Amino acid sequence: MTSLDDLPIRADLRGRTPYGAPQAHVRVALNVNENTHPVPESVAHDIVASLAAAILTINRYPDREFGELRDGLATYLGHGLTRDNVWAANGSNEVLQQILQAFGGPGRSVLGFPPTYSMHSIIASATGTQWVEGARDEGYEISPETAVREIDRTAPDVVFFCSPNNPTGTPVSLSTIEAAYDATDGIVVVDEAYAEFLPQGNATALTLLEGRDRLLVSRTMSKAFAFAGARVGYLAAAPVITDALRLVRLPYHLSALTQAAATAALRHSDQMLAMVDDIKAQRDRILTELPALGYAPLPSWSNFVLFGGVADPAATFEALLARGVLIRDVGIPNTLRVSAGTEAETTAFLEALAALGDPTSGPSTKLDR
Ligand SMILES: *Cc1c(COP(=O)(O)O)cnc(C)c1O
Q: Do 279 and 179 belong together in one domain?
A: no
Q: Is residue 299 part of a domain?
A: yes
CA of 177 to the centre of ligand 1 (A): 20
Percent of the chain predicted with pLDDT > 90? 89
Percent of the chain predicted with pLDDT > 70? 97
In this prediction, residue 343 carries a pLDDT of 97
Q: CA 250 to CA 45: how far, in whole Å?
A: 31
Q: Is residue 366 part of a domain?
A: no
CA atoms within 13 A of residue 181's CA, in its CB half-sphere: 20
Q: CA 297 to CA 309: how far, in whole Å?
A: 8
CA of 19 to the centre of ligand 1 (A): 12
Q: Name the band, by pLDDT with cuts 50, 70 and 90, for residue 359.
A: confident
Model-level pTM?
Answer: 0.95
CA of 220 to the centre of ligand 1 (A): 6
Query: Which residue's alpha carbon is at the smallest distance from atom 6 of ligand 1?
Result: 91
Q: Do 49 and 142 belong together in one domain?
A: yes
Residue 205: phi, psi to the nearest 5?
Answer: -65, -10
- What are the pocket residues of ligand 1 if the criterion is a CB atom closer than 6 Å to any ligand atom? 33, 91-93, 117, 162, 166, 191, 193, 220, 222-223, 228, 233
* Residue 366 pLDDT > 70: no
Q: State the closest ligand 1 atom to the C-alpha of 221, by its place in the atom list counted from 1.
A: 8
Q: Do 85 and 208 belong together in one domain?
A: yes
* Residue 37 pLDDT > 90: yes
Q: State the closest ligand 1 atom to the C-alpha of 232, by its place in the atom list counted from 1.
A: 8
Q: Name the band, by pLDDT with cuts 50, 70 and 90, for residue 25.
A: confident
CA of 193 to the centre of ligand 1 (A): 6
Report whether 175 contacts 141 (CB < 8 A): no
* Residue 32 pLDDT > 50: yes
Q: Name the band, by pLDDT with cuts 50, 70 and 90, for residue 363.
A: low
Query: Which residue's alpha carbon is at the smallest distance from atom 3 of ligand 1?
Result: 193
Q: Name the band, by pLDDT with cuts 50, 70 and 90, for residue 5.
A: confident
Q: Name the band, by pLDDT with cuts 50, 70 and 90, for residue 367.
A: very low
Q: Is residue 7 part of a domain?
A: no
Domain boundary residue, one of 230, 252, 267: 267
Residue among 96, 223, 306, 339 to mutate when testing ligand 1 (max atoms within 8 A of CB)? 223
Q: What is the CATH number of the domain that holds 299?
A: 3.90.1150.10
* Residue 304 pLDDT > 60: yes
Query: Which residue's alpha carbon is at the smallest distance from atom 2 of ligand 1?
Result: 193
Q: pLDDT digits over 243-302, tens only? A: 999 999 999 999 999 999 999 999 999 999 999 999 999 999 999 999 999 999 999 999
CA of 93 to the centre of ligand 1 (A): 6
Q: What is the CATH number of the domain that holds 75?
A: 3.40.640.10
Mean pLDDT over each residue of the chain, to the nearest integer: 95
Query: Which residue's alpha carbon is at the smallest distance from atom 15 of ligand 1?
Result: 166
Q: Name the band, by pLDDT with cuts 50, 70 and 90, for residue 364.
A: low
Q: State the closest ligand 1 atom to the C-alpha of 32, by its place in the atom list counted from 1.
A: 1
Number of folded domains that form the chain: 2
Q: Do 262 and 289 belong together in one domain?
A: no
Instruction: State the residue range of the domain holding 129.
Output: 41-267
In this prediction, residue 201 carries a pLDDT of 80
Q: Is residue 234 part of a domain?
A: yes
CA of 222 to the centre of ligand 1 (A): 7
Q: CA 54 to CA 322: how far, in whole Å?
A: 43
Query: Which residue's alpha carbon is at the smallest distance from atom 14 of ligand 1?
Result: 193
Q: Is residue 9 part of a domain?
A: no
Quickly count: other Cβ atoms within 10 Å of residue 154's Cβ: 16
What do you get for the CA distance between the two ends of the chain, in Å? 40
Q: Do 258 and 307 belong together in one domain?
A: no
Residue among 94, 222, 330 to mutate when testing ligand 1 (max atoms within 8 A of CB)? 222
